[in-house]
Amino acid sequence: MQFSLNHRKKKVSKLQIAALISILPSTLLLSDISSAGSQTQSVAVKSGCRKFIGRVSSSGDLHLPSGSRLCQGDRINPVKGATVKVLCYLNGDFVYLRHSTVFKEPDTCTVPQEIAELCTGLNPSNCYNPKGAGEEKEAPTLISPYGSSMLSTRPQISWSAVSNATNYTVIVKGYEFYWETTVDQKTTTLTYPKEQIELQLGNTYKITVIANRRGSLISSEPLVISVLPEKDQKEIAYKVKQINDLNLPPDEAAFLDLDAVFMSKSLLNESIETLKARVAAGSQNPTLYRVLADRYLEAWLPNEALRNYQVANELAKRTRNSDELAKVQQGLKLVEWHNK
């Protein structure tokens, strides 16, 4: 069963959004994230807490040092005259607390008033199937960029191979914007061509890949993706810098803090690339692989999700992490549904 990759939006309740996030957390930004991974800092760990909903991101609390993770019901106690900055994983925003406050959702960390949930592979119940019975099964599938929004103005473009293809043509177009290039049949990843004008901030583009099978042209479904405007780019850059300045354990920063910030703007592309960088660095954290698998499902890539769920499953068994094992099983059931 397949659904359209076009990103149809559907409003949902605050409870639905909270439930969604509970199972989840430009080149310059990604280089900042990578450089931060070389440094680590011990953070406060709370016994008995299995779900972290935020992090103390500054000094100024009587008891909690900067970098401490927070659970539902934890109390922030600012020193007299101080302000404590806390990152909310629910919405990817900072809150500034000047008085003793019980940290909890959705009171301290509120869900935005206007919020739309994209039709994604992690939430297929919000989608419908517009495909006809004669759908071409051998068409190439766009893999990256991931999702419907991104920071990069020169994204890498990749797609699935088509048997017996002689070459592929990649087309990128937008308002008064167009370029195309043809690559051989062995190429399924295209670095954004240096000779082409970069994508513009705040604009929306359509990416299509056409496979040539000995004169028969087979087109992928177009991927419609928007580049965040300058204001949002600066906001994300500020938050990423604040997180990197905490010198957190790099795996934890990737699947908790950075993921929360990126997903607050539906930046699947940046979240997946950040998590993939930690995998390349040799991570053995089951949560990181499970969150990466979740993100792949959101991007309608069940095969990539399956591989990472399987790794997460083995690592969780090895470390006897029952919470992660349960979440992995939920993800595997969704993958099985996709593959039917």
Q: Using DSSP bridges, classify how beta strands 204-213 and 189-190 pair: parallel, antiparallel or unpaired.
A: unpaired
Would the pLDDT of 92 be above 50? yes
State whether residue 98 is helix, strand or coil.
coil
**pLDDT exceeds cutoff 50 at 6:** no
Q: Please state, in angstroms and rounded to a whole number, the distance separating the CA atoms of residues 25 and 16.
A: 15
Q: Please, which residues bridge with residue 74 across strands?
A: 103
pLDDT band at 117 (very low <50, low <70, confident <90, very high): low
Position 40 scores a pLDDT of 44
Going by C-alpha positions, the residue among 30, 35, 69 that lies closest to residue 52 is: 69
Tell me: pLDDT of 261 over 70: yes
CA distance 302 to 296: 7
Tell me the pLDDT band of 299, cut-offs 50, 70 and 90. Answer: very high
pLDDT, one tens digit per residue, over 323-338 is 999 999 999 999 999 8
- pLDDT tens digit sequence for 163-173: 999 999 999 99
pTM: 0.82
Give alpha helix (H) positions in the chain. 14-23, 27-36, 230-244, 250-252, 259-263, 268-280, 286-298, 302-318, 322-339
Torsion of CA 332, 333, 334, 340, to 10 degrees: 110
pLDDT over 90 at 25, yes or no:
no
What band does 9 get if pLDDT is binned at 50, 70 and 90?
very low
Composition of the chain by helix, strand, coil, percent to 5? 35, 20, 45
Angle, vertex CA 187, rays to CA 183 and CA 189, nearest 5 = 105
Taking only the tens place, the pLDDT of each residue in 49-66 is: 889 999 999 999 999 999
* All structural domains of the chain: 9-110+231-339 (1.25.40.10), 152-227 (2.60.40.10)
Question: pLDDT band for position 216 (50/70/90)?
Answer: very high
CA pair distance 277, 284, nearest whole angstrom: 13
CA distance 336 to 283: 26
The whole-angstrom separation of Cα 55 and Cα 52 is 8
Single out the residue of 149, 93, 155 nearest to residue 265, CA to CA: 149
C-alpha to C-alpha distance for 16 and 196, rounded to whole angstroms: 42
**Residue 110 pLDDT:** 84
Tell me which residue of 294, 285, 284, 286 sits closest to 262, measured CA to CA. Answer: 294
